[in-house]
Amino acid sequence: MVAEVLEHLAPSRGGVFVDCTVGLGGHAGALLEAGASRLIGLDRDLDALAMAREALTVFGDRVTLVHRDYRSLADLLDAHGVGPVDGVLVDLGVSSMQLDAPGRGFSFRRDEPLDMRMDRSSGATAADMLAAADDRTLADVIYELGEERHARRVARAIVEAGRTKRIETTGRLAEIVRRAIPRKGYSRIDPATRTFQAIRIWVNRELDGLDGFLTRAAERLAPGGRLVVITFHSLEDRVVKHTLRALQAVGAITIRTKRPQVPTEAEIERNSRARSAKLRAATR
């Protein structure tokens, strides 16, 4: 949703912009080309940062890229001596690069090590966390983060299978989940989809502190500064919607999008994964 991001962030104003999930640098490059004076890019994924650094090298010292979690935005800006900024973008969720890259373990379409970490330099893998979880904890994770109605059945199957042999691969996990879910005719999505989403969100703590981050991001905006958030599932969008409404209620921001913007049909044709994207924007 590059066009929509540029519309709301309005980088032609110049100034300092922060891309909190810089990924491969697509949005960052568009902001710089459209007039941003300086861009600070954060990402948890070292592989993505390396690719972004190469893609954005043409912009020279107008770009600063840092290996950090977006929730550390305020500390990062303080450490770099950056005051109020003119725009903040956060594009949440897993990226196409992470889904497609072999060995990352985000997708059950290939049988590979069950990792799922966005930041492979630290933290427990999905395999580690499943090995340590009891069925009640795991059922709560799968139900709350995956909205899987068969969560208890799936959690029990995972824990029981793990007692026999540690679950180390995406293929084995997917097969355990598929066997645990009752099949009733054709299903548009693979039965393992919701469980994989839940475990990925759990491993990466994707919802932890999201509301606090949005509050701090709004506080770091200069008067007239813009905030844009792109979500890819209802759990994220719900947090973003309610947090922005609360910030507007106390006069911290003005919401620019009465309803979330969604991709055009043309964009969905180019990239089917954009189908579930929702964009919300606000002004300080």
pLDDT tens digits, residue range 42-89? 999 999 999 999 999 999 999 999 999 999 999 999 999 999 999 999
pLDDT tens digits, residue range 1-38? 999 999 999 999 999 999 999 999 999 999 999 999 99
pLDDT at residue 270, rounded to an integer: 86
Of 117, 100, 110, the residue nearest 272 (C-alpha): 100
pLDDT at residue 186, rounded to an integer: 65
pLDDT at residue 149, rounded to an integer: 95
The CA R_g of the chain, rounded to the nearest whole Å, is 20
CA 68 to chain CA centroid, nearest Å: 14
Q: Where are the domains of the chain?
A: 2-93+207-283, 105-204
SS (H, E, C) the chain: CHHHHHHHHCHHHCCEEEECCCCCCHHHHHHHHCCCCEEEEEECCHHHHHHHHHHCHHHHHHEEEEECCHHHHHHHHHHCCCCCEEEEEEECCCCHHHHHCCCCCCCCCCCCECCCCCCCCCCCCHHHHHHHCCHHHHHHHHHHHHCCCCHHHHHHHHHHHHHHCCCCEHHHHHHHHHHHCCCCCCCCCCCCHHHHHHHHHHHHCCCCCHHHHHHHHHHCEEEEEEEEEEECCHHHHHHHHHHHHHHHHCCCCEECCCCCECCCHHHHHHCHHHHHCEEEEEEC
| pLDDT above 80: residue 279 | yes
pLDDT tens digits, residue range 141-187? 999 999 999 999 999 999 999 999 999 999 999 999 999 999 876 67
CA 211 to chain CA centroid, nearest Å: 14
Q: Do residues 199 and 178 touch, judged by C-beta distance below 8 A? A: no
Of 205, 237, 241, 235, the residue nearest 144 (C-alpha): 235
d(CA 62, CA 237): 31
d(CA 275, CA 231): 11
Q: Do residues 277 and 231 touch, judged by C-beta distance below 8 A? A: yes
* CATH number given to 2-93+207-283: 3.40.50.150
Q: pTM of this prediction?
A: 0.94
According to DSSP, the residues that pair with 206 across neighbouring strands are: none
As its CATH architecture, domain 105-204 has Orthogonal Bundle (1.10)
